[in-house]
Amino acid sequence: MATPGLHEVAMSSRTRIVLAQPPFFRIFGSHNNRGPLELAYLARRLDDQGAACTILNLDRTDATAHCTWRNLFARSALLHAALDGPSPLLYESAERILGLAPDVVVLSAGDALTPWVDLGNAFFAARLAELLRRQGIRCVGIGSRFGTAPQARAAFDAVVDDVFGAEAVSTVLAARSTRPWTPAPPLLAADATGSTWDVIMTSFGCVRACSFCDAAAQPYRPAPPAVVAADVEQRADRARLDIGDAIFLARGARLAALTEGLDRVGRRPGFSIELSVDQVTPGRLAELAAFGVHEVKIGIESADDSTLRVMGKHQRAQQIRTACDRVRDQGLNLTVYVLLGGPVPDSANAALRTLDLCRSLPADDFVINVWAYNRPGARPTDTHFSGDLVEEYGLTEVMEEFFALQAPAKLSIGRLLDIA
């Protein structure tokens, strides 16, 4: 019997769709228990159209601690092996998906909704799609990592570029939606893997145009306050939530509307947010603290002016110091993001200048990454913790000093253990 086409599948009474986040951190011997947010938003859309959706976070484990960033960098060669040869995780993932007897499978590679880019690999997702399609399963890809991976896109029946666009439902169901979709919270109840759902969105996209960031390619779209409140309400077990917006822009009337929505549902958790340096003023921080913000994340990225220009970051070292001091003066936790290397003339000395700046900042923690995406000459094995890129950028001698800045635990994921 011939395998039904996408259109024929869509006409069934209750199309079975599995939305899976393939293993990524598990490839490196770690894990990511956070729920795949973009898949949950797509599941809501598909559920509204009558499909039966199941979300699988195949990067989740039962571990309660994580390895260190140092370990991730040291293990980066494991991704080469997973892409080039037999991978137990590949076959395990196919087994778990096929066991649900889906009509269509949606596989993610990254998450276009948040600025956190290391949430998948398009080429590993493509290998999984090829395996599933040999079993007669139709596969759709979604996620920001497909944007610069045409070879990976070719392994799928289709790739969805915008989870909010009309084509998202049409592509997966192969039938034009007849009912307009209104903004709604992600469908967390579709998760069959016990993921941690501690990230909410109050807006999508970004008003800035940083050259290294996926969010710069997305139009800025604030979510209705009532939708944000409903999303917070469905996470009643979380006393702390990360707001995943690229930059949290809410203030004044917008912040008041968000506050009113939260009060209406009786939920006021603590929040972590990301701010740009120019947003950090004493008045703004006081307003955010009253809203419930307890942690501010700032992407300083570099202390090197030429690097900042290439990045499109309009800030200087003294502005960074002032912003960080203000966060601590307000009594808030401070996490600093650093992005080393990249298409800059002298990445090694730029890193040394950045290290000097970091040592002067009153931060509780540092996230140390190398520039891996949205750059010339990107490779399938590039990640923010690529050992190959450390060597390419001439950073080998300085990385250990950056690792020494990092705290032994993170508010978002818990304890870090050096497992060498």
What pLDDT is attached to residue 163? 85
C-alpha 120/C-alpha 26 separation (Å) is 10
CB of 71 closer than 8 Å to CB of 420 = yes
Tokens of 151: 């070879």
Exposed, middle or buried, 208 (CB in 10 Å: 0-12/13-18/19+)? middle
Instruction: Tell me the C-alpha distance between 381 and 387, whole Å.
Output: 10
Q: Look up residue 195 and give its DSSP letter.
A: -
Domain-by-domain residue ranges, the chain?
Answer: 6-173, 198-417
Backbone angles phi, psi at 317, to 5 degrees: -60, -45
- Tens of each residue's pLDDT in the chain, 420 residues: 334 444 444 444 589 999 999 999 999 999 999 999 999 999 999 998 899 999 999 999 999 999 999 999 999 999 999 999 999 999 999 999 999 999 999 999 999 888 787 889 999 999 999 999 999 999 999 999 998 888 999 999 999 987 887 788 888 988 766 666 678 999 999 999 999 999 999 999 999 989 998 888 788 999 999 999 999 999 999 999 999 999 999 999 999 999 999 999 999 999 999 999 999 999 999 999 999 999 999 999 999 999 999 999 999 999 999 999 999 999 999 999 999 999 998 999 999 999 999 999 999 999 999 999 989 888 999 999 999 999 999 999 999 999 999 999 988 888 999 998
The pLDDT, as a whole number, for residue 11 is 42
Q: Residue 107: its pLDDT value, please?
A: 98
Comparing CA positions, the residue from 191, 228, 248, 263 lying closest to residue 36 is: 191
Distance CA 227, CA 164 (A): 14
What CATH number matches the domain at 6-173, 3.40.50.280, 3.40.640.10, 3.40.630.30, 3.50.50.60? 3.40.50.280
Residue 130's alpha-carbon distances to 7, 26, 106, in angstroms, are 20, 20, 13
Which of these, 183, 113, 118, 102, lies nearest to 142 by C-alpha position?
A: 113
Q: What pLDDT was estimated at residue 37?
A: 96
Whose structure tokens read 């395998």?
3
pLDDT for 180 equals: 64
Q: Give this prediction's pTM.
A: 0.94
What CATH architecture applies to the domain 198-417?
Answer: Alpha-Beta Barrel (3.20)
Phi, psi of 131 (to 5 degrees): -65, -45
CA atoms within 13 A of residue 264's CA, in its CB half-sphere: 13
Q: What angle do CA 276, 279, 281 make, to 5 degrees?
A: 135
Burial annotation 80-100 (CB, 10 A radius, 16+ → b, else e): eebbeeebebbeebbeebeee
How far apart are the C-alpha atoms of 186 and 199, rounded to whole Å? 11
DSSP state of 374: S
Phi, psi (degrees; rounded to nearest 5) at 374: 50, 50
